[in-house]
Amino acid sequence: MTSLSFANCRICGKLFYRTTRDICLDCRTDEEGKFLRVKKYLHAYPSATIDDVTLGTEVELRLIILWIEQRKLTLEQNPNIVLECERCGADTRTGRLCPECRSELRQQLVHQDERTMMGEQPSLASAKSELSAKYHLSRRRDRR
């Protein structure tokens, strides 16, 4: 017998049966509708800026940025909208890291896996300090 998990929706506060998300079905449906509006707008107006998109769709800037960071929304066809890579500051059109930093991080993780498989057991503290020294998470949200 499994126990049911209830939570309050982080958007509207309504109590709901929680599955994988922290928002209720009504808010999820609303969010999906907003996503489709943004996607259609970007397709119709490829030269739009982020301000154009927020004004033209009436969708909050924070949601649009979240979708780009989650790689749910890509901007290859929209040259006037870019985010800043959280690691190096370069422009990126999808995700939180630019393609170069994603590749380098992937290579470092593979290298770390190889060292672990060879019997090296780095301490958790040294691994954390190595990563935190290389990856700063300062972002400029005011960049549009």
What is the per-residue pLDDT across 24-74, written as a single tens digit (0 to 9) for each? 999 999 999 999 999 999 999 999 999 999 999 999 999 999 999 888 998
Give the residue among 8, 66, 81 at the shortest CA–CA distance from 35. Answer: 66
DSSP per-residue letters across 54-118: HHHH---HHHHHHHHHTTSS--TT-TT--EE-TTT--EESSSSS-HHHHHHHHHHHHHHHHHHHT
Categorize the per-residue pLDDT at 124 as very low, low, confident or very high, splitting at 50, 70 and 90.
Answer: low
Summarize pLDDT for 60-115 with one digit per residue, the tens: 999 999 999 888 998 888 999 988 899 999 988 888 889 999 999 888 888 887 77
Is 72 within 8 Å of 32 (Cβ atoms)?
no
Per-residue pLDDT band for 2 (boundaries 50, 70, 90) equals low
